């Protein structure tokens, strides 16, 4: 269908605002303001942040190895951002995990093959490196001073549309989100800045153009419910990756499940929580095996702190727990037992 031609345009009209200059009947035409002057504070903040950060936001393309049975190699894409001028890029673990090839492209047209130097599925963060120098970089901020309702700006490559900018607000703080590894990611930022597949790994920015989070996930059935891993969490992960090549966590070698304790049990043993962790299985030669754990034991305290569930235990088994002896309290049938246990480092595919 042909597009109808618009009607002839009427002569342009410029409204003139009369101002009293002190002389009777004399008026002056107020000069027309430029588009830049007409930008409100909100627009200025978004424009400034986008111009400042966009050059450092990368498109990341990955190639997966062929699957079993002759399946074709998979491919995918996401986002990331350069945080050092010599080529370190932060992205999501799920963007690059298992990739046989990682390719990075910047908005100025530069493209590089990248190496994965560290991958932490438990926080869904990864660091890749390209061989380059003098690259544009982002400014890393902090999420600690954030307030609900303040401006949040996301930049990424949704569905391959490079350097797409969306804006919204910080909807909530202190959320928790389950990583695909099963562990809980703490201190997650919720925002309504629109995210789509391909935004993963891109930066979430404050109005000052500082990175406050790493865009990670959306709820597909909802609108405007999106999540970013706090940049404070990311800083800790990056520091450990650069130091150790991985994130070190404690491991005791049990598989457990959350249970609700009976009121009678809580009262009888004078427990601080009505829930705990039941040991389902124990890894051979693990710290738990050496400490005399048995399947069916119920973990109620670790190092003097109540254990209300598996997530509590994971929080306590941080890097600081590795190699440090701790007292762990168990319920075994009608007994309350105390065992000393020394966590080791979590194996690459370990649990518990």
The pLDDT mean for the chain works out to: 87
Residue 180: the pLDDT is 84
94 is catalytic: yes
Residue ending a domain, choose from 243, 263, 280: 243
Q: Which residue in 79, 93, 94, 207 is the catalytic one?
A: 94
Which one is predicted more confidently, 284 or 69? Answer: 284
Same domain as 223, residue 254: no
348 falls in which pLDDT band (50, 70, 90)?
confident
Q: List the domain range (segments joined by +) for residue 233.
A: 139-243
Sign of the alpha-carbon dihedral angle for 135, 228, 116, 310: positive
* Environment class of 47 (CB within 10 Å of its CB; exposed 0-12, middle 13-18, buried 19+): middle
Does residue 183 register a pLDDT over 90? no
Residue ending a domain, choose from 193, 212, 243: 243
Helices and strands, number each (H, E), in the chain: 7, 21
CATH number for the domain that contains residue 70: 2.40.10.10
pLDDT digits 0-9 by tens, 3-47: 344 444 434 333 323 334 444 444 455 555 566 665 688 899 999
Phi, psi of 235 (to 5 degrees): -60, -40
Let me know the angle formed at the C-alpha of 111 by 110 and 113, rounded to the nearest 5 degrees. Answer: 150
Residue ending a domain, choose from 218, 243, 268: 243
Q: Which residue in 200, 206, 230, 286 is the catalytic one?
A: 200
124 is catalytic: yes
Same domain as 288, residue 266: yes
Let me know the angle formed at the C-alpha of 152 by 218 and 155, rounded to the nearest 5 degrees. Answer: 65
Domain annotation covers residue 9: no
Same domain as 336, residue 305: yes
Alpha helices in 106-259 (DSSP H): 231-244
The kind and range of the H/E element at 268 are helix 263-269
Same domain as 270, residue 189: no
Token match 């009209």: residue?
Answer: 13
Which one is predicted more confidently, 133 or 26? Answer: 133
Closest CA to 59 of 202, 203, 217, 215: 202
Residue 1: the pLDDT is 39
Domain annotation covers residue 19: no
Residue 67 CA to residue 73 CA, distance in Å, equals 7
347 falls in which pLDDT band (50, 70, 90)?
confident
CB-based contact 277:306 (threshold 8 Å)? no
Looking at the chain, the whole-number percentage of residues with pLDDT higher than 70 is 86
pLDDT digits 0-9 by tens, 250-259: 999 999 999 9
Which residues contact residue 16 at a Cβ distance below 8 angstroms, ignoring those fewer than 6 apart? Answer: 27, 29, 30
pLDDT digits 0-9 by tens, 279-325: 999 999 999 999 999 999 999 999 999 999 999 999 999 999 999 99
Q: Rounded mean pLDDT of 326-334? A: 94
Residues for the chain: how many in total?
Answer: 352
- Rg of the chain on CA atoms, in Å: 27
pLDDT digits 0-9 by tens, 78-96: 999 999 999 999 999 999 9
CATH number for the domain that contains residue 279: 2.30.42.10
3-state secondary structure of 61: strand
Residue 210 CA to residue 153 CA, distance in Å, equals 10
Same domain as 185, residue 92: no
Same domain as 224, residue 145: yes
| Tokens of residue 312, six digits | 């509590």
Domain annotation covers residue 283: yes
State the total domains in the chain.
3
| Tokens of residue 33, six digits | 């303001």
Q: Which long-range contacts (CB under 8 A, 24 or more apart) does 296-299 make?
A: 296/332, 297/330, 297/331, 297/332, 297/337, 298/259, 298/261, 298/330, 298/331, 298/332, 299/254, 299/256, 299/328, 299/329, 299/330
351 is catalytic: no
The kind and range of the H/E element at 287 are helix 287-290
Sign of the alpha-carbon dihedral angle for 208, 213, 217, 221: negative
């Amino acid at each position: 269908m042909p597009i109808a031609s618009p009607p002839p345009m009427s002569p342009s009209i410029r409204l003139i605002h009369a101002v009293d200059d002190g002389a009777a009947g004399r008026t002056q035409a107020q000069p027309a303001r430029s588009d830049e002057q007409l930008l409100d504070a909100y627009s200025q903040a978004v424009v400034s942040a986008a111009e400042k950060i966009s050059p450092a936001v990368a498109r990341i393309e990955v190639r997966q190895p062929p699957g079993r049975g002759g399946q074709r190699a998979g491919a995918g894409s996401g986002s990331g951002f350069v945080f050092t001028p010599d080529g370190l890029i932060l992205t999501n673990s799920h963007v690059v995990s298992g990739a046989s090839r990682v390719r990075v492209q910047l908005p100025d047209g530069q493209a590089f093959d990248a190496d994965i130097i560290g991958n932490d599925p438990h926080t869904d963060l990864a660091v890749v490196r390209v061989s380059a120098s003098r690259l544009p970089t982002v400014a890393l901020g902090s999420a600690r001073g954030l307030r609900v309702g303040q401006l949040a700006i996301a930049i990424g490559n949704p569905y391959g549309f490079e350097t797409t900018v969306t804006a919204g607000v910080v909807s909530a703080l202190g959320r928790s989100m389950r990583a695909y590894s099963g562990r809980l990611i703490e201190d997650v930022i919720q925002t309504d800045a629109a995210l789509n597949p391909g935004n993963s790994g891109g930066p979430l920015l404050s109005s000052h153009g500082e990175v406050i989070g790493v865009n990670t996930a959306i709820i597909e059935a909802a609108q405007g419910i999106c999540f970013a891993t706090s940049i404070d969490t990311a800083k800790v992960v990056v520091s450990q990756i650069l130091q150790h090549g991985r994130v070190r966590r404690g491991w005791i070698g049990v598989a457990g499940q959350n249970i609700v304790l009976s009121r009678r049990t809580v009262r009888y043993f004078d427990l601080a929580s009505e829930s705990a962790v039941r040991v389902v299985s124990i890894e051979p030669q693990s710290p738990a095996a050496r400490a005399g754990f048995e399947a069916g034991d119920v973990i109620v305290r670790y190092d003097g702190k109540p254990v209300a569930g598996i997530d509590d235990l994971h929080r306590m088994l941080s890097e600081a727990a590795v190699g440090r002896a701790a007292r762990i309290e168990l319920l075994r049938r009608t007994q309350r037992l105390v065992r000393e246990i020394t966590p080791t480092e979590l194996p690459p595919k370990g649990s518990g």
